[in-house]
Amino acid sequence: MRVLVTGGAGFIGSHVVQELAARGHEPVVFDLRQDEGADVRDEKAVREALAGVDAVSHQAAKVGLGTGFGDAPDYVSHNDLGTAVLLSAMADAGVRRLVLAGSMVVYGEGRYTCAHHGVVRPGPRAVAELAAGRFEPLCPVCGAELAPGLVGEDAPTDPRNVYATTKLAQEHLAAAWARATDGTAVSLRYHNVYGPRMPRDTPYAGVAALFRSALARGETPRVFEDGLQRRDFVHVRDVAAANATALEDAAAPGALAVYNTGSGDPHTVGEMAGAIADAYGGPRPVVTGEYRLGDVRHVTADSSRLRATLGWRARVGFTEGMREFAGEVAAG
């Protein structure tokens, strides 16, 4: 297949390009980082790039929580307007296969169980509770402690920041495009992706990159809250393989298929910071008690649907992956 990879020079996109080429496909890179600055919001440029293309891997996006609500217009422009321009051009060009870089942030908080009321959905955490160091959400019915579990694709969506809202809107646009064109659309809801080529020293970078950058500067990594918030850290090469597998799959047309894309091996943010520090040989992380509004407490993936349907599974283990990730800076 000839596959247009938007964001193909970026962190995840560059690995998707590499994986596609290794499988004998012909990836075509479309990215703002290129010399000529290809912008997915540029209708003319997108239409030209789609010439002769069989499928699209849509990785281009503005990512992370950003620096405040003032980022909202930029997020909506890059993520939602950009996706709409791309899908419109695909409809006109007759390109009927799409894999979208989705995100676990569309769920908001993960899955919680109350001993008295079963599965419940706690609301957004209150500023007063966070400021007092009470980070765990409580049962919205009785106020009891909750047990976090794995969230599946059929869980209700509840985006709690601007970035999350734009990622859910991308999925709705992709679903509408699939219905209108009888196209094949897949959203891979990435969990916390890390690995080589991850951006450094930017407020839009993932927490793993921020920890690694601190170590490279000789500083102590600062872990927010109490460090016990749970995430699913998945290696970028595994995510790239999931993209290639989804592109090759003969999925049913006319609807959006959604798959969680995680390692299936949850760890706390504190454990992740410690693993990077140990591998780098730097100072141990410090837990600060700080917090960010819009962050959620626990969200970890049930990726069994992706494994069962497409035969994909994560292959890079947590310790191995963090050692490689830390070594990328140490070697540089």
Per-residue pLDDT of 247-297, as tens digits, reads 999 888 999 999 999 999 999 999 999 999 999 998 999 999 999 887 899
Give, to the nearest 10 degrees, the angle between helix 162-181 and helix 82-93.
Answer: 10
* Two tokens, residue 101: 């870089």
* Residue-by-residue pLDDT tens, the chain, 332 positions: 999 999 999 999 999 999 999 999 999 999 987 766 789 999 999 999 999 999 999 999 998 776 678 899 999 999 999 999 999 999 999 999 999 999 999 999 999 999 999 999 998 899 999 999 999 999 999 999 999 999 999 999 999 889 999 999 999 999 999 999 999 999 999 999 999 999 876 655 678 999 999 999 999 999 999 999 999 999 999 999 999 999 999 888 999 999 999 999 999 999 999 999 999 998 999 999 999 887 899 999 899 999 999 999 999 999 999 999 998 755 54
Decide if 255 contacts 199 (C-beta within 8 A): no
- CB of 299 closer than 8 Å to CB of 104: yes
Tokens of 25: 């496909």
Predicted local distance difference test score (pLDDT) of residue 329 = 59
> Looking at the chain, which runs of residues are DSSP E strands?
2-6, 26-30, 55-58, 97-103, 111-114, 118-120, 146-151, 184-190, 192-194, 222-223, 230-231, 233-235, 255-261, 267-268, 286-287, 300-301
Catalytic residues: 163
